[in-house]
Amino acid sequence: MGILNVTPDSFSDGGKFTNIDSAIKQVRKMLSEGVDIIDIGGESTRPGSASVTEDEQISRVVPVIKAIRSNFPDTLLISIDTTLSAVAKSALDAGANIINDISAGQGDKNILTLASEYDVPIILMHMQGTPQTMQDNPSYEEVVTEVCESLICSVEEAMAAGIKKENIALDPGIGFGKRREDNINLLAQLERIVALGYPVLLGTSRKRFMGSLCAVSEPAELVTATAVTTALGVMSGVPMFRVHDVKENRQAADVAWAIKLARDGCAS
């Protein structure tokens, strides 16, 4: 899943793809590097970011989605990264296929009903707090257990809204209301998230906690660190990765997948 932020203020690529030409150029590049899904967001969710109205999000994402569909009608899937049902509906009507909701329906309950009515996949993420508050003072007694329990509650709400089990995927929310040690523990125990029985999306791309581990302050310099987590994720059974740098992470995933197949084949 390649990230396409059509925002002026995202933490790593804000302002780079806010017009149609630059967005299409980036999509073409990601396609050449092996992307399967383009994840489009019209609101930054970096720590402390300000919320964006649904009208503003719609004005940012819909023209880009329509342009992608026009230029690449059948070559990829598009996910809409939003917590608002009106934005998700406009995106789906414009050609998006998947809803990616970092609030797991808590930001707008109607988004669950929408996913059910449109019969589309929805990705439910764990987050403690909101983007405005999530890094103020996050705390857990046992982060993996608590994230798993929260994700199962989100699944139950989604299914109660009529969403089919096969249309649900989960995201542990690396970096969303998590301390460095929480992120590390989640990555170390990804098998427990996978064992919940739903496809898992891992989103570590260029995140700050990795920079603190390897003394790097610029997000764009964390490509290798991200690829390491992608390889670890593949070995843990994670099938989806949300990344800025498709080429490097596709290589990491492909090599790790070959190793995983060899390991699992030997084990059987």
Distance CA 231, CA 252 (A): 5
Instruction: Enumerate domains of the chain plus CATH numbers.
Output: 2-263 (3.20.20.20)
Q: Is 207 a catalytic residue?
A: yes
pLDDT value for 11: 44
Please give the model's pTM, rounded to 2 decimal places.
Answer: 0.92
pLDDT greater at residue 2 or residue 18: 2
Angle in degrees, CA 38, 44, 161, rounded to 5: 70
Answer yes or no: 242 catalytic. yes
Among 46, 60, 242, 250, which one carries the catalytic annotation?
Answer: 242
Residue 7 has pLDDT above 90, yes or no: no
What's the pLDDT score for residue 105?
A: 96
Q: Give me the catalytic one of 46, 178, 207, 250.
A: 207
pLDDT in tens, 52-98: 899 999 999 999 999 999 999 887 899 999 999 999 999 999 999 99
Residue 250's Cβ-count burial label (10 Å; 0-12, 13-18, 19+) is buried
Q: Over the stretch 16-61, which tens digit does the pLDDT of each residue have?
A: 556 888 899 999 999 999 999 999 999 877 666 677 899 999 999 9
The residues near 224 (Cβ < 8 Å, ≥ 6 apart) are 248
Q: Which residue has the higher pLDDT, 217 or 12?
A: 217
How do residues 120-136 score in pLDDT, each as one tens digit? Answer: 999 999 998 667 665 76
Q: What is the mean pLDDT of residues 156-162?
A: 98
Question: Which pLDDT does position 130 carry in this prediction?
Answer: 67
DSSP string, 52-109: --HHHHHHHHHHHHHHHHHHSSSS-EEEEE-S-HHHHHHHHHHT--EEEETTTTSS-T
Instruction: Say if residues 194 and 236 touch (Cβ distance below 8 Å).
Output: yes
Helix (H, G, I), strand (E, B) or coil at 264: helix
Percentage of the chain with pLDDT > 70?
A: 91
pLDDT value for 217: 87
211-217 contacts: CB < 8 A, separation 24 or more?
212/180, 213/180
pLDDT, averaged across the chain = 91
